[in-house]
C-alpha cells in the first residue's frame, strides 16, 4: 500500500511540475490576432472591420520601462494605437478601449484610458513618426503607475493609472488595411549623452522674462493661480524678431481648464499681468476664441479656435530694405544693422502673390516703422495685420491664464 501511495505522489509531483512549466511558457508568450509578425515588423492582416492587436510577452519593468513603435505605413486610415494593457487583454479591441488599459492613438492624437471615447492629448502621427510609451520608475513605490507617451523622442504627456506597473504589457493596435509598424521593445529613452557628458538644455536663456511660467526644456507650463484676469502667466523671449529670425511657433500640449493661451508680439516692457494683445505695443492671436487682440481688451474675429495638438505661429514679413532699430537697449550685441541696399526674403512666404505689393507699399512708410505681422495655425496662414513696431522691436510673447496649460515652443523653427 505504501508503494502505491508513493507511486501516486510521484505522478502528482510530475503533473504539478508540468503545469508550472506550461504556466510559465504561457506567461512569457506574445499574443497577437489579425497581425503578421516578421522580425520586428508588425503588419495588419484583418479586413478593416476588425481590430488587430499585439501584446508583448513581458510587462514593463525597472530594467525595461520604455518601448517604441515606428510607423512604417499608415495604411488606409492610420488607426494605429500604442499603449499598455493587461496580459490577457481581448485581442479584438484597440489598446485603451477596455478597463485597465491606456493608449495613444495615431489617427486622432487622442488618449484612450479604459474607454472607447478618447480625450485630446497630443498631435496626430504619420508615416515615419516614432511613438513611445513608458512608465516612471517611482511608480513602483506608490501603488500607482505614471505612464508617459512620446512622439519622435519628445514627451507628449503623462497619465496616472491605478495598479502596479508590473501588470502592464506593451501593446499595439491596428484597424485598417496596409498598416505596418516596426516594434522596438528594448528602446531607450532619456537625456541624450554626447562624449560621455549629460546634455541638459534648459532653454531658459532664450527667455528674457518669465512670470508664473515654468520652463522645462522647450516646454512652458503655467503655474499661476488662474483665478482672475490678472493671473496671467507671461513668457517673453530675450531677443526681438528680426530679418534673420522672423517667425516662431508653439504647440499646445495641454489646453488646461480654459485654453486661455495667447501667442503674439509685444514691446520689451510689456506689463507682466496683461495678456499679449490687451495693452498697447502688442498684438496676439488667442487660442480660446480665435480672436485677434491689438492693444485692446476687445478682440476682433480673426481665425479658428485652437486646441490641444494645434500648432500656432507668429511672424513678421519685414519690408525690403528694413533697418533694425539701433536705439534699443538689447543686451545682446549680435544684431547687426542691415544697410538699405540689402534685400530681405522671407522664404517661407515668398510665394504669396501680394508680397511684392505689400513690400512696395511699406517701403515708403519706413519712417513709421510699420510691418506686416502674420499668424499661422498648423502651418497655414490665418491672417495678417499691419502694425507699427514699438521702440526696441517686437519680442515673441506668450500668455497663459488657466490651470494646467502647457505649450512647447520653438523660437527658431526655420533654422533647419
For residue 324, the model assigns a pLDDT of: 58
**Cell matching residue 192:** 541624450
Identify which has the larger pLDDT, 68 or 6. Answer: 68
* Confidence band of 369 (pLDDT split at 50, 70, 90): confident
Nearest C-alpha neighbor of 173 from the set 105, 219, 227, 122: 105
pLDDT band at 335, cuts 50/70/90?
A: very low
Who wins on pLDDT, 2 or 388? Answer: 388
Integer Cα distance of 311 and 249 in angstroms: 7
Q: What is the mean pLDDT of residues 373-402?
A: 94
SS3 content of the chain, % helix, strand, coil (to 5): 10, 40, 50
Count of other CB atoms within 10 angstroms of residue 103: 28
Range in 160-169, 197-206, 374-383, 400-409 the model is least confident about: 197-206
DSSP 339-389: PTT-----GGGTT-TTHHHHHHHHHTTGGGTEEEEEEEETTEEEEEEEEEP
Q: Over 80: is that where the pLDDT of 132 sits? A: yes
Instruction: Indicate the pLDDT class of residue 11, thresholds 50, 70 and 90.
Output: low
What is residue 338's predicted lDDT score, i.e. its pLDDT? 35
Check residue 141 and give its pLDDT. 58
Give percent above pLDDT 70 in the chain.
Answer: 76
| pTM score | 0.47
Of 323, 281, 42, 24, the C-alpha closest to 175 is: 42
Q: Which CATH superfamily is domain 29-184 in?
A: SPRY domain (2.60.120.920)
| Banded pLDDT at 165 (limits 50, 70, 90) | confident
Judged by average pLDDT, the poorest of 21-30, 85-94, 166-175 is 21-30
H/E segment holding residue 173: strand 169-174
Place of cell 502688442: 282
Average pLDDT, the chain: 82
- Does residue 57 have a pLDDT over 70? yes
Q: What is the CATH number of domain 204-322+368-410?
A: 2.60.120.920
Lowest mean pLDDT across 299-303, 380-384, 390-394: 390-394
**Which range among 100-109, 206-215, 332-341 has the greatest average pLDDT?**
100-109
pLDDT(343) > 90: no
Q: Would you list the domain boundaries of the chain?
A: 29-184, 204-322+368-410
Q: Are 33 and 91 in contact (CB under 8 A)?
A: yes
Predicted confidence at residue 13, as pLDDT, reads 64
Do 204-322+368-410 and 29-184 fall under one CATH topology?
A: yes
pLDDT at residue 334 above 60?
A: no
199 pLDDT band, cuts 50/70/90, is very low
Cell, residue 232: 496671467
Mean pLDDT on 294-305: 95
**What's the average model confidence in pLDDT over 349-361?**
38
d(CA 145, CA 165): 6
What's the pLDDT band for 137 if we cut at 50, 70, 90? confident
Q: Other CB atoms closer than 10 Å to residue 37's CB: what's the count?
A: 12
Query: Tens digit of pLDDT for each residue in 239-290?
Result: 999 888 899 999 999 999 999 999 999 999 999 889 999 999 999 999 999 9
pLDDT score for 41: 94
Q: Report d(CA 327, CA 308) in Å as an integer.
A: 39
| Closest to 172 measured CA to CA, from 31, 63, 49, 29 | 31
Q: Rounded CA gap, 226 and 406, in Å?
A: 13
Whether residue 191 is predicted with pLDDT greater than 60 in this model: the reply is no
Check: CB of residue 279 under 8 Å from CB of residue 383. Answer: no
Amino acid at each position: 500500500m505504501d508503494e502505491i501511495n508513493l507511486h501516486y505522489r510521484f505522478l502528482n509531483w510530475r503533473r504539478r511540475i508540468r503545469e508550472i512549466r506550461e504556466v510559465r511558457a504561457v506567461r512569457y508568450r506574445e499574443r497577437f490576432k489579425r497581425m503578421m509578425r516578421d522580425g520586428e515588423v508588425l503588419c495588419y492582416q484583418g479586413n478593416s472591420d476588425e481590430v488587430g492587436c499585439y501584446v508583448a510577452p513581458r510587462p514593463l519593468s525597472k530594467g525595461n520601462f520604455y518601448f517604441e513603435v515606428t510607423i512604417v505605413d499608415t495604411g488606409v486610415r492610420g488607426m494605429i494605437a500604442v499603449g499598455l494593457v493587461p496580459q490577457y487583454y481581448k485581442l479584438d479591441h484597440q489598446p485603451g478601449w477596455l478597463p485597465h488599459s491606456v493608449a495613444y492613438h495615431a489617427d486622432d492624437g487622442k488618449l484612450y484610458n479604459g474607454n472607447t471615447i478618447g480625450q485630446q492629448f497630443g498631435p496626430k502621427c504619420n508615416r515615419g513618426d516614432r511613438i513611445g510609451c513608458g512608465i516612471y520608475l517611482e511608480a513602483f513605490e506608490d501603488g500607482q503607475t505614471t505612464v508617459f507617451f512620446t512622439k519622435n523622442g519628445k514627451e507628449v504627456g503623462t497619465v496616472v493609472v491605478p495598479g502596479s506597473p508590473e501588470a502592464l504589457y506593451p501593446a499595439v493596435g491596428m484597424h485598417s488595411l496596409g498598416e505596418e509598424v516596426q516594434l522596438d521593445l528594448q528602446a531607450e529613452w532619456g537625456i541624450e549623452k554626447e562624449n560621455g557628458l549629460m546634455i541638459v538644455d534648459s532653454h531658459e536663456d532664450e527667455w528674457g522674462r518669465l512670470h508664473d511660467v515654468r520652463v522645462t526644456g522647450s516646454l512652458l507650463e503655467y503655474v499661476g493661480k488662474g483665478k482672475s484676469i490678472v493671473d496671467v502667466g507671461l513668457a517673453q523671449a530675450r531677443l526681438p524678431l528680426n530679418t534673420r529670425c522672423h517667425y516662431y511657433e508653439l504647440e499646445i500640449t495641454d489646453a488646461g481648464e480654459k485654453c486661455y493661451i495667447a501667442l503674439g508680439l509685444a514691446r520689451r516692457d510689456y506689463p507682466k499681468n496683461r495678456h499679449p494683445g490687451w495693452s498697447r505695443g502688442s498684438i496676439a492671436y488667442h487660442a480660446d476664441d480665435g480672436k485677434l487682440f491689438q492693444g485692446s481688451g476687445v478682440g476682433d474675429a480673426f481665425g479658428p479656435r485652437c486646441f490641444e495638438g494645434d500648432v500656432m505661429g507668429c511672424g513678421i514679413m519685414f519690408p525690403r530694405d528694413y533697418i533694425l532699430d539701433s536705439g534699443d537697449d538689447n543686451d545682446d550685441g549680435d544684431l547687426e544693422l542691415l544697410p538699405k541696399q540689402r534685400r530681405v526674403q522671407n522664404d517661407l512666404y515668398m510665394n504669396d502673390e501680394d508680397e511684392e505689393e505689400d513690400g512696395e507699399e511699406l517701403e515708403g512708410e519706413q519712417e513709421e516703422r510699420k510691418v506686416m505681422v502674420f499668424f499661422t495655425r498648423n502651418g497655414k496662414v490665418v491672417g495678417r495685420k499691419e502694425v507699427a513696431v514699438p521702440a526696441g522691436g517686437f519680442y515673441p510673447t506668450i500668455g497663459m491664464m488657466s490651470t494646467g496649460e502647457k505649450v512647447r515652443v520653438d523660437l527658431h523653427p526655420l533654422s533647419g
